[in-house]
Amino acid sequence: MTDNTKKYQIISLLMTYNLDYIVNFPTRINTYTETIIDNIFLDRSKNENFIIELYYNGLSDHDTQMLTLYIPSHNSCKHGLVRTGRKYDDSSINEFKMKLSYENWENAFDPTRDNDANGIFNNFLNMYLRIFYCSFPLHISLVRNKSKGWIMKGVLISCRHKKNLYLLCRTSNSIVLKIFYKKYCKILTSTIQLAMKFHYNELISQSENKTKTVWSIIKFLTNKRAYSSEEPMLNIEGKLIKNPQILAETFNNYFSSIVEVSVIKIIKQENNDLSKHSYRQYLVKAFQQPFSPIMLKSVSENKFMK
């Protein structure tokens, strides 16, 4: 508890590692002395929110320290867990192979480092990992909470009871028990269906976009996901191209020049039409067939007003 040179030396040493003591109250109290033992050292830059408390246990000559850390969870969110991983498919594997083939490995196999095996290995590993991380980047995906909202406590208790009845029916020859088990299964099935219906109706009624909610429920119940692992291909001038870079460049070139090409085609077509046909010939062709004869008939004022 007292200040001395050794105390400041140990504090300075720990501060070089960004550690600081957090127990600043006596943990061992005798008749004449008060000391701090079993101190806790913490990195305050990474753990800002914490509580350190003293508990009297009465089982030892010194008291207990209770440390409570408040660590924000980066792997959880409102709708589920956040998971990171790498995606390995045919397209990314081909890209990885292509980048490895383009690498010259000069830095890895430097002739000036023939005797430095560790340096050669580190250079090779750095170059390899750079290509690997570029070809297979980390993706953050949301793991949906798969808990079914319609499973209430009563449904769980009924399911456990059904399981116990099933085990009894296996070891018993009682016809009454088997009939009761079948009736119980029917009642439980109808109860589950009503619970599901009530749950999904509530989701739809509370949703702002009801159509989207309905389709999400249908996809969840049918277990259908719009995902295709097939590698995209495109027929370019009679050749099937799988390289994603070439495909992207082809699409960019097409959509960046489609307007200009279309305008040029329209202008050429209009010029050709004007050169081939004059407006008089167009009008003559448009009215080659005569109109049907028009019959005029007199009508009285009363009939006209009606």
Taking the CB of residue 180, how many other CB atoms lie within 10 A of it? 14
| pLDDT band, residue 226 (cuts 50/70/90) | low
Domain co-membership, 39 together with 60:
yes
Q: Which helix (H) or strand (E) holds 190?
A: helix 175-206
Domain co-membership, 170 together with 224:
no
Q: What percent of the chain is modeled with pLDDT above 70?
A: 75
Instruction: Determine, yes or no, domain membership for 283.
Output: no
Instruction: Taking residues 76-99, report their average pLDDT.
Output: 77
Which domain, by its residues, includes 16?
Answer: 5-69
How many domains is the chain built from?
Answer: 4
What secondary structure letter does DSSP report for 107?
T
Domain co-membership, 91 together with 64:
no
Instruction: Determine, yes or no, domain membership for 195.
Output: yes
Write out pLDDT tens, residues 134-157: 888 888 776 665 567 777 788 888
Domain co-membership, 213 together with 184:
no
Residue 87, amino acid: K
Domain co-membership, 139 together with 169:
no
Inform me whether the pLDDT recorded for 229 exceeds 60.
no
pLDDT of residue 59: 67
Q: Measured between alpha carbons, how far apart are the two ends of the chain, in Å?
A: 114
pTM equals: 0.31
Query: Between β-strands 34-35 and 28-29, what pairing exists: parallel, antiparallel or unpaired?
Result: antiparallel
Instruction: Taking residues 27-34, report their average pLDDT.
Output: 76
Instruction: Determine, yes or no, domain membership for 132.
Output: yes
Task: Tell me how far apart the alpha carbons of residues 306 and 296 are, in angstroms, rounded to a whole number.
Answer: 19
Comparing CA positions, the residue from 107, 163, 181, 97 lying closest to residue 132 is 97
pLDDT of residue 145: 57
Inform me whether the pLDDT recorded for 113 exceeds 80.
no
Instruction: Determine, yes or no, domain membership for 49.
Output: yes
Instruction: Determine, yes or no, domain membership for 52.
Output: yes
Query: Of 121, 144, 167, which closes a domain?
Result: 144
Please tell me the least confidently modeled range out of 25-39, 60-74, 178-192.
60-74
Domain co-membership, 211 together with 201:
no
Residues 6+ apart with CB under 8 A from 86: 136, 137, 138, 139
pLDDT of residue 76: 47
Instruction: Determine, yes or no, domain membership for 270.
Output: no
pLDDT of residue 273: 57
Task: Tell me how far apart the alpha carbons of residues 41 and 128 are, in angstroms, rounded to a whole number.
Answer: 39
Instruction: Determine, yes or no, domain membership for 242.
Output: yes
Instruction: Determine, yes or no, domain membership for 64.
Output: yes
* More confident site: 82 or 185: 185
Query: Of 95, 126, 144, which closes a domain?
Result: 144
The mean of the pLDDT values for the chain is 77
Residues 6+ apart with CB under 8 A from 156: none
Instruction: Taking residues 55-72, report their average pLDDT.
Output: 73
CB neighbour burial string for 183-197, b if at least 16 within 10 angstroms, e if fewer: eeeeeeeeeeeebbe
Query: Of 108, 124, 144, which closes a domain?
Result: 144
Write out pLDDT tens, residues 233-270: 778 778 888 788 888 888 888 877 777 777 777 777 65
Instruction: Taking residues 95-124, report their average pLDDT.
Output: 78
CB neighbour burial string for 126-162, b if at least 16 within 10 angstroms, e if fewer: ebeeebeeebbeeeeeeeeeeeeebeeeebeebeeeb
pLDDT of residue 58: 63
